[in-house]
Structure 1
């Protein structure tokens, strides 16, 4: 009787297995981050689609949108949803990033349950290129529901939560902490399918146009209430 080769790849046995000393192979389509040093540290070489990605900034506005800009531009043929951003999206800043207001849907809600419902509808519709969801607190059950909803499509799904949430469990296979640094960001690898990395990665970021001309900016009008999200709105 023959025995399996000892050199067989763990991924050959099951896609969720990988060697602890190596980055896992991506099981879903990945979108290039646009930052070569970061992409080289991620399984599949980019942001995975159809899954929950946890971004944990020290505070809002430290460069997280500039970090995501290259990937958002790649998926902008389908609309991008901004759900519960901490500040109204600014038209000038988005234009400087190459994103026009017509490519975006801004959704806000006064109730967390409505925002979670809207996020699930966007993910299940499969019609949007990306969903950015800012949420200060989310229970494990809610995260699992969103993660499951994301797996039904290829939407690029980022949850942006406070840095303190790094201490909480999450079904997200990729979790990154973001801290401001002179000239860019320090990215910590809280969780990834691959070897543990204790040292943060410094990622240089070019200052945005908004940082030089913030007083000239104007907000995108008319956010959509969360419960008004319908398939035709995100289609």
Structure 2
């Protein structure tokens, strides 16, 4: 039996009232979603326009799926890292190459703001990531993992939701077909003077086509062009991150600030 017009109008008004008080709890798939937590601008206006709240969300697992390592992912993240490093430390967990100290310094990221964690097993890396997130003393965590089980991703996402740390999980592009609890997944492919970005998953309408994002050819505030990460086999032209700091921290032996 249909409701009287007056009752229907009252019901619609009541629903609208509830919706207006819960802006983060209700989301329509054809609208750009919002995050309850903080957001850090990416430093690229074209990318900010495609992301909910206009930037990288804190308290969430963000996946970057790469066609190949070194295709521009560090230049993409550099503006956000510069913002975070002004106040808090940045953790590099299992990077594929040795962090290049001179390049980080030239980029404006002081070495004392960096914490490099190297583990022998994936399970130790995942454990370390959870401890960093739970401790909350670091502003950003970059984690490289070629293979991660869905259960481990869910644990990391839950840990991220309980913190205000920015968490990027960097994985191969082949992981794109795997399910993930991450609310934001981007694939990156190399392009001339930039990258091709495909928004595989976001809290908003589906973005079916990849778009080109130009990246700066040189590190801001300097003319240095040294890579932030360098291959272990290459002869370093500058001291690597661990030359002036303590050896890489292993799981179970984290710095006191992270215990």
Tell me if structure 2 keeps the 8 A contact 1:126–1:152: no
Give the corresponding residue for 2:240.
Answer: 219
Are the counterparts in 1 of residues 29 and 205 from structure 2 also a CA contact under 8 Å?
yes
Query: TM-score, with normalisation over the residues of structure 2?
Result: 0.84
Matched residues, number: 232
Q: 1:87 to 1:26 in 2, by over 3 A?
A: same
Which residue of 28, 32, 37 maps to 1:23?
Answer: 32
TM-score by length of 1: 0.92
Runs of 5+ consecutive residues of structure 2 not aligned to the other structure: 1-6, 219-224, 231-235
Instruction: Confirm or deny that 1:229 pairs with 2:245.
Output: no
SS at match of 2:258: coil
Separation (CA, whole Å) in 1 of partners of 2:238 and 2:177? 36
Q: Which has the larger radius of gyration?
A: 2
Q: Give the direction of change, closer, same or farther, for the CA distance of 1:183–1:21 in structure 2 (3 Å limit).
A: same
Provide the alpha-carbon RMSD of the alignment.
1.9
Distance 1:16 1:163, change over 3 A: farther
- Whole-angstrom CA distance in 2 between matches of 1:117 and 1:226: 7
Counterpart in the other structure of 1:89? 99
Q: Distance in 2 between matches of 1:103 and 1:195?
A: 37
1:78 and 1:129 in contact (8 A); partners too = yes
Question: Are the equivalent residues in 1 in contact too, given 2:62–2:169 (CA < 8 A)?
Answer: yes
Which structure 1 residue ranges, 5 or more long, are not aligned? none
Q: After TM superposition, which residue ranges in structure 1, 4 or more long, deviate above 4 angstroms? A: 6-14
Among 166, 177, 185, the alignment partner of 2:176 is 166
SS in 1 for 2:11: coil
Asked whether the equivalents of residues 144 and 169 of structure 2 are also in contact (C-alpha less than 8 Å), the reply is yes
Of residues 183, 193, 201, the one that matches 2:211 is 201
Q: CA-to-partner distance for each residue in 1:92-143, whole Å, 9 max, x for gaps?
A: 2212221111110000011111110000000000110100000011101100
Q: CA-to-partner distance for each residue in 1:13-63, whole Å, 9 max, x for gaps?
A: 562432222211222110011100000000010000011001111111111
Report what 2:4 is aligned to.
none
Residues 11 and 17, structure 1, Cα contact 8 Å, conserved in 2: no
Q: 1:225 to 1:185 in 2, by over 3 A?
A: same
Give me the whole-angstrom Cα distance separating, in 1, the residues matched to 2:23 and 2:217.
Answer: 43
Question: Within 2, Cα distance between the matches of 1:9 and 1:34?
Answer: 35
Cα deviation 1:125-175 (Å, max 9, x = unaligned): 011010000001110110011111111111010000111111101111000
Give yes or no for the alignment of 1:210 onto 2:226: yes
**Who is 1:37 aligned against?**
46
